[in-house]
Amino acid sequence: MSRPCVNCSQKRASKGPFRSLKLLTLAVFGLFSGSSTELHADEVWLRNGHQLTGKIISIDMEKLVLEVPEGKLTLKRSQVDYVVRIPAKESMLEECNRRLLGGFPGSALSYLRKEYILDQDCPAILDLYRKCLIAEIDQLLLLDSSEAALLLWRELSSLPGNDGDLSSLRSRVLKEQDRLMEYELMVLRSIELGSPREALQHLQSLEERFPSESQSWTLVYEEQSLMAAQDSLQLRDFSSLHETLMNLLKRSPHYWTHCRSALTLAAIHGHGIAIEDTLTILPDSPAVHLALAHQSGRSETPIQMGSHLERVTELVGGEINSKEIERELTENAFLELRGLHKTREDFQSIATKWLDRFWSRYAFPGSPPKIPAIVEHPTQEALDDYLGSPGDSIRLESIGEYGKIEQLVLHLVTAEPMLSQDGLPRELFRSLIERSFGVSRCPAWLEEGLATLARGPLAANRDDWLLEKALLEGRIPDISDLITMEEFSSELLRAACGSVVETILESTPRTLIPLKLKRIRDEGLERFLRRHTEIDTLHKLQQRWIGDLRQRRG
């Protein structure tokens, strides 16, 4: 469970300019003198009136790095007013005690844990360490963060001595241990009774209170999800079918081949993704084109109805029988959910449908360009060997002479999970960014974010889950780090780029997006924020972005 940085909790009284200048001069002299940093800590006073207590690790003309109980904090020199050097151990313990009294004991634990390991004979450290553990366990139990509370309880139990009567806290901790066993028994009982949906509900409760413990139940979750989906399909409960499969895919995208027909069937019956989006799942399904023909026929401009009906006739090879077409799709859905029917994805057709979707969504002029030549590779190792360098599972290769591009080749690893919904549209749109927005040479993070946003709802569903998980675990990437990266090898980093770009571009009219992108490219993100928005720092953008993520969680 993440804890906020609460070091900025004191404001100074007003002071005269002479006193500020004198203290700043003394501070600079002290920082660059040869005095021991082991015996002293530092009070860093900021221009906004707040004060931080810690140990200065490094300082130069641009930034100051301060060690605080949570870890390290980097400040711009322009934010710092002056620094006062003070006795180290007493001041840092006082700062930790201030966290305890202020209701944030967890923020002091990292520092106290480290100091206790270094000096186990210091009563002051041990006493404060124990008090912060007790207070944090109490807070975690109130917040139903059972697993984190149990981990800290083991840590508290390993300390020598005691802190009075802990019987009340001990009974609450033991109750949570019993709750874990109870959840596990309820899952097993539901499986024995053949109630997969009930088992999923108990697994959800287990995950909420005991996230790490629930990881050992991943295979059970996947099996019960597929069984619950089969039950929903049998009952023609398409809403439940869609919800179950979306929850499965955001956690386990390698089950993509089990879910394609069932998700398509749910969409055709009005649940989940739009019918148009199913063209990127099953581009040559008669059921999809028949559903699109019916949808076009009900619209005010039924222009596409005829072309879809012609395509259905081509695919079935004769008279259109809607009941037979749906029966065949339903049968395929059952077989896929059982792992008995795995058809090869036609990436050429899927890529064509993605370009059609881009032209429809963004109203690009003209017709979609020619699809790059697609070369499929069975494994990541085979792709790396072919291109002679390690990299992503899908890569766009430019082939040309004398600076002129003759051909684009899209290399992809067919074993990559949900490739048709994630990597394929991302790389296709990356090649269109300049044509789409008239902006070339975008910074890597901005290009990655735009390409990530172009994907469909299935990939976005997993992104939301990855970001929510990172938020709960305190692993949200820092924007100041993202904008310096050249490559984004993890799903979380790519999801973060897309989400940050979405926050920056929110409420921006489509016609103004190219201008905004050019300014970000030419001025840099921080200068752009300062000159053109009310979010004038990267820190404020980080806060806005995290606020958006929390609001999305509800």
Domains of the chain: 38-163 (2.30.30.100), 236-338 (no CATH), 344-434 (no CATH), 438-553 (no CATH)
Structure tokens at 212: 């790490």
* pTM for this entry: 0.79
DSSP state of 352: H
Query: Residues for the chain: how many in total?
Result: 554
Q: pLDDT confidence of 30, banded at 50, 70, 90?
A: very low
Per-chain mean pLDDT for the chain: 85
* Dist. CA 128–CA 20, nearest whole Å: 34
Residue 453 half-sphere exposure toward CB, CA atoms < 13 A? 20
Q: Residues of 365-393 as b/e, b for ≥16 C-beta within 10 angstroms?
A: eeebeebbebebbeeeeebbeeeeeeebb
Task: Give the model confidence (pLDDT) of 521-554 as tens digits.
Answer: 999 998 999 888 888 788 889 989 999 898 876 6
* Dist. CA 326–CA 234, nearest whole Å: 14
* Dist. CA 259–CA 228, nearest whole Å: 12
Structure tokens at 419: 């490739």
Using a 10 angstrom Cβ sphere, with 0-12 exposed, 13-18 middle and 19 or more buried, the burial of residue 359 is middle
Please check the confidence at residue 408 and state whether its pLDDT lies above 70. Answer: yes
Task: Give the model confidence (pLDDT) of 297-356 as tens digits.
Answer: 888 777 788 888 999 999 988 889 999 999 999 999 999 999 998 788 899 999 999 998
Task: Give the model confidence (pLDDT) of 458-517 as tens digits.
Answer: 999 999 999 999 998 889 999 999 999 988 989 999 999 999 999 999 888 888 888 999
* Dist. CA 102–CA 9, nearest whole Å: 9
